[in-house]
Every structure is written in C-alpha cells, then in structure tokens.
C-alpha cells in the first residue's frame, strides 16, 4: 500500500505574475476593406478590453504581378499612411480602453499576418471568414483557413452574418 501523506493537495505558486493571469496578453485584429471589418475589430476590442490585452489592428495590402503598389517607395508610403489612417478611424468608433497599434504590410496576407503575429507575440488572432456571398455559401477563405491551421495561438473567426440573435457577452 502506498504511503499517504497528510497535507495540502495543491501548492501555491510563488512569484505568480499578474500578467500571467490574463487570458490573452495580445490580441491582433486582421482587417480588410470589407463591410465586416468593423465587426471583426469590435470583437477584438471587446476581448482586449475584457482581458486587459494589448491590441493591434493589421491590414495587408496584397502584392502580386498586377500590383505594383509595394514596388515604388513613395507610392507605398502614401498607401501605408492612408491605410493606417483608415485603421485608426475605425478604432475610434469601437470604444477601446487601450491604445491600438495600427500595422500595414504588403504581400501575401497569410504570411504577413503570421509573421507579424510571431514578431509581436500575439496569442489571439481575430479575423473574418474571408468569403463573400450568402450564408449558405459560408466557408473559410484561404487566409483564414491557413492561419487557423498554422497559428500556434488562439484564432477567433468572426462570420460575416450571425443567424438569429447574437449571444450576450459575459
């Protein structure tokens, strides 16, 4: 028969930091120019406010053979400033209790988002489904699917429309 020792079943952890008690330390909202971007940012702000997390809003300007916006430094700087201003305008209407860091990148959306999330030590990505059309065609777009599969932290995917009454936030 094994020895049974009297004493507490749990141990207090010494030096437990307050920051470790937070559910999320850094939330990043990935926003495009779709009408659903405001809803995605609202959800990210809500979670950041409730958990005391840092908040980053990110937009990726796509680059490809037909897009030369990123090639010319002057055009890129003007585009980056316009996109940053748009992200900050959106954030003004959300009621964030923390400062929002706006990041604009150029390239592959999934790659830019993943790299920036790793660089900033993000533990929650908030993004949309990435598909357009009626709810019967819902699915995940390529970027959302890729990030849900490879990102090591948590991923919240906000649908374009919510059927019925949205749940109350606790």
- The verdict on residue 140 lying in a domain is yes
Instruction: Assess if residue 5 is contained within a domain.
Output: no
Would the pLDDT of 86 be above 80?
yes
Asked if residue 94 is part of any domain, the answer here is yes
- 10 Å CB burial of residue 100 (0-12, 13-18, 19+) is buried
Nearest Cα neighbor of 27 from 8, 42, 37 is 42
Q: Is 52 helix (H, G, I), strand (E, B) or coil?
A: coil
Q: What CATH number does residue 77 fall under?
A: 3.40.50.620
**How many alpha carbons fall within 13 Å on the CB side of residue 56?**
23
Residue 96 to residue 120: CA distance in whole angstroms:
19
* Residue that is written with structure tokens 């706006």 in the block: 102
Instruction: Give a yes or no: residue 73 inside a domain.
Output: yes
Report the percentage of the chain scoring pLDDT > 90. 43
In a domain, 145, yes or no: yes
Average model confidence (pLDDT) for the chain? Answer: 79
This prediction's pTM: 0.76
93-129 pLDDT per residue, tens? 887 777 899 999 999 999 999 999 999 999 999 998 8
Percent of the chain with pLDDT over 70: 73
Question: Does residue 168 lie within any of the structural domains?
Answer: no
Give CA–CA dist 19/63, Å, rounded: 37
Where residue 64 falls among pLDDT bands split at 50, 70, 90? low
Tell me whether residue 15 is in a domain: no
Please say if the pLDDT value at position 13 is more than 50: no
Domain count for the chain, please give it. 1
In a domain, 2, yes or no: no
Q: Which residues constitute the domain of residue 135? A: 22-158
Average of per-residue pLDDT across 35-42:
89
């Amino acid at each position: 028969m094994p020895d049974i020792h009297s004493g507490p079943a749990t141990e207090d952890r010494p030096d437990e930091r307050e920051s470790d008690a937070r559910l999320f330390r850094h939330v990043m909202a990935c926003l495009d120019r779709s009408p659903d971007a405001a809803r995605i940012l609202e959800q990210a702000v809500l979670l950041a406010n409730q958990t005391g997390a840092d908040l980053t809003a990110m937009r990726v300007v796509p680059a490809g053979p037909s897009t030369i916006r990123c090639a010319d430094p002057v055009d890129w700087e003007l585009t980056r400033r316009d996109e940053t201003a748009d992200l900050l305008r959106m954030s003004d209407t959300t009621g964030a209790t923390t400062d929002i860091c706006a990041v604009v990148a150029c390239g592959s959306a999934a790659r830019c988002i993943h790299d920036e999330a790793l660089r900033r030590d993000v533990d929650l990505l908030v993004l949309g489904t990435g598909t357009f059309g009626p709810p019967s065609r819902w699915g995940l777009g390529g970027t959302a699917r890729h990030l849900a599969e490879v990102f090591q932290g948590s991923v919240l995917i906000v649908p374009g429309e919510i059927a019925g009454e949205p749940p109350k936030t606790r």
